[in-house]
Structures are given as structure tokens and as C-alpha cells.
A and B are shown apart, each in its own frame.
Chain A
Amino acid sequence: MSRPVLEVVRLGLVSYSEAMRVQRFYVDRVKSRPSSAWTLLLCEHSPVYTIGIRTSQYPDRDLDLLRTKGAEVHKTNRGGLITFHGPGQLVCYPILHLGLLKKGIRWYVGQLERTVVDVCGQFGLRANTSPLTGVWIRDHKVCAIGIHCSRYVTSHGLALNCDVDLSWFSHIAPCGLDKGVTSLSREMQRRICVEESVHPLLHSFSRNFNCDLHDAAPPHLHRDPGPCPGHISGHS
């Protein structure tokens, strides 16, 4: 097939639930018409802990305790264990059709890791990968990855720590591991915000996945009137 085209949709700061609604829209679109444009969702979340399909490791009382810290808690259908999302973390959800790429999930996750290693390289940071999925600087995790794949269509994705408050991670064993976390800001010893990381990520993604990227507006999804009806248009 010719070079795939991905629409880059920037949601800005959104709740996890809102992002999942938007993601579901794009996933359903690609499932029903695989030839329709694929999507790269970019956003930041208000503070939230999420867990993957291995839910038995997290009894409800542990999740309730996390809620007392001021964050939401969500169970998801992705792989991976528990992680945190919050302001200052660049979250990216690529929604594409692996069947049309003739690739499997193991390749896809490897490509996401390579993409983020490249992003770190653009900041002059040496990042690495390991048998434990994710991207590391020395043995501190700078980017978490967790994916869902249904009928060849991918959802969920990666979360890159830019200038997120890392103390949120102290309440969990991130991804079930007894290892530290870090951020681009901590490694660079200067503030690197989400906005500064977007262009390097898009550049790396386009190169590693050999695709073209175009900006697109978020979808207008029917929703109940809320306090900020313009919130979904994603101006941060």
C-alpha cells in the first residue's frame, strides 16, 4: 500500500473518559472502513490511575485508596499494569490497522518504543529499551506503553513524562515494577513541557512508521451539555 496517512488530532487537557469516547469514535471508524484515515490522538489527562486487563492484582480497596489522593481510577482493556497519567505528560493514542500494514503486535510495540527513543535522542538524551516494555533512561522509566488490539485496530498507546509531577507515581508500583520513574525535564535539568515534545514525537513517529501526518480537527460527538461544551475542541 502507499504511505499511510494519519490525522493528528490534538485534544489538549481532557479527562480520561472523554479521551476514551473520542478514541472509540476513531477505532469504530477504522474497524468499519479500514481504508479510512488513521488517527494519532494527542492529549494530556487530568490526574488518573489506570489499570490493564490483569485486574486481579488490584483489589477495589487499593483503587479506592488511590482515589483519596485526588485522582480518578479507571479499569481499561489495554495490556500492561497500573500507571499514572496527569498534566505534564504527553499521551499519544495511535489508531491504525495492523492488518493493512501486514504487521503484528510485537512489531508495533517495538516501533512505538523506537519512536520514543528517537524523541529522547532529539533532546540529547540516551534512552533504551529492555524486555520490559517501555522506554527507560538508565533504569528509570520515562515512557509507559500499553496497547489494545481488536480486529487488527490498535488503541491506547504511550505516555511520555515531560514535566509531570513525578510524586504521583510514589503511590503505586508503576507497571507493577519496583523501579523509578523520570521525566524529560528531570533528565534535562530544565523544564520541558508537553508542547515542546509534540513536534519531536510527530517527527519520530512519521519516520519510524513511514507515514504522513496531517492536522485534523477533533470530531463533534453528541454529548450531554456540560460546564465546558468547548472543552472537546482541545485548546490547551
Chain B
Amino acid sequence: ATRSDFSSLWSIETAAVFVLFVCVPRVWFLNFFKGTLKFTDKHEWVRVEGSIGTVGISNYAQEALGDVVYCGLPEVGQKLEQMEEFGALESVKAASELYSPLTGEVSEINTELAENPGLVNKDCYGEGWLIKMSIEKPEELDGLMDQSAYDKFVKSLED
């Protein structure tokens, strides 16, 4: 084998190594972190993990609200219809209703928010989650916006 053969082999392997160990994990990591986020036009998001959906409000929503001082959340076990009002967030003496993105049953509520409602502002996609719920009608997810559609929707509101 000539030197040039080795060189070209080396560059192919390097490229392969780069793709396998750098690009793929990075893409995987980003997808995992964002999860399969779907959005409603009322600025709630739902992240599907197996048969459970975690629900919260988007960054656009938390900015428009201001500092959240109180989270009025439903009881565990409460059944929700898609678009049904399930609670309210209070900020600047204003109580803003929350709408269920899906039909299902509340399986968990974020009890951290009782002591620390500001988590909704600080980390709206992470620790500021509101409720978890079962997903009774998975087909409802198809009607929700994915990240890029939601980004476009928010842009249209700001114009």
C-alpha cells in the first residue's frame, strides 16, 4: 500500500470515528433533552415518554406572564379532556388559565411548585413542569405543533 492509500484510509476512518462518536451522540443528546415536544396554540407543551405525557408552558408563555407566584394545579386522578381548563398560574395579580393539551388522567403534579412557583419561569421545559398525565388518545398528538411549527407560530404572534 502506498502512503497515499494509507492517508485516504485514515481520513475515512477519522471521518467515521467523528460521525460515530461526536455527531451521533450530540444529535441523540439534543433529541433526548428536548424530547418529543409538542405544543398547543395556548403555549402549553407536552413531552411524551412512553405512555406518559409531561406538561408545562413554553418560554414565550412564561415571559408573557411575568414572575409566577402561585400554581393552581389539579388533583392526581383528575380526568382531563383535550383543551379543558385544568388550572391556573398567577403572576402580577393575574390568574391565567391552563389548558390540557391531551385527553387523559393526571398521574402526578409537580409539588415543588407549591414552595417554588418561580421554577416555571426559571426552567419552564425542565424543573418547571406542571403535571404528568396518561395519554388516552395518542392520535391527538398529531394535531399538536412540533418545535419548528410552534416557533413559526410564535413568530407570527410577534409580528
A interface with B by C-beta (< 8 Å): 52-54, 77-80, 102, 104-110, 133-134, 145-151, 175
Contacts and interface: CB of A to CB of B under 8 A. Distances in A.
Contact of A106 (B90, B92, B97): B92
Nearest to B95: A79
B60 to A, nearest CB: 9
Contact of B94 (A102, A134, A149): A149
Contacts of A79: 70, 90-95
Interface in B40-97: 42, 63-66, 70, 72, 85, 88, 90-97
B157 interface: yes
A108 B99 CA distance: 21
B5 interface: no
A175 B70 CA distance: 14
Given A53-B70, A53-B72, A109 B93 contact: yes
Interface of B: 42, 63-66, 70, 72, 85, 88, 90-97, 99, 157-158
Contacts of A110: 92
A77 B88 contact: yes
A98 to B, nearest CB: 9
Nearest to A98: B64
A104 B67 CA distance: 13
- B-side binding surface: helix, strand, loop or mixed? strand
8 contacts: A53-B88, A78-B95, A79-B91, A105-B96, A133-B92, A145-B93, A149-B97, A151-B99
A53 B90 contact: yes
A60 to B, nearest CB: 19
B68 to A, nearest CB: 11
Nearest to B87: A53
B95 A53 contact: yes
Given A104-B63, A104-B65, A106-B66, A52 B95 contact: yes
B157 A105 contact: no
Given A53-B70, A77-B88, A105-B64, A148 B158 contact: no
Given A53-B72, A104-B63, A105-B66, A148 B93 contact: no
B93 A54 contact: no
A217 B66 CA distance: 36
B94 A109 contact: yes
B93 A106 contact: no
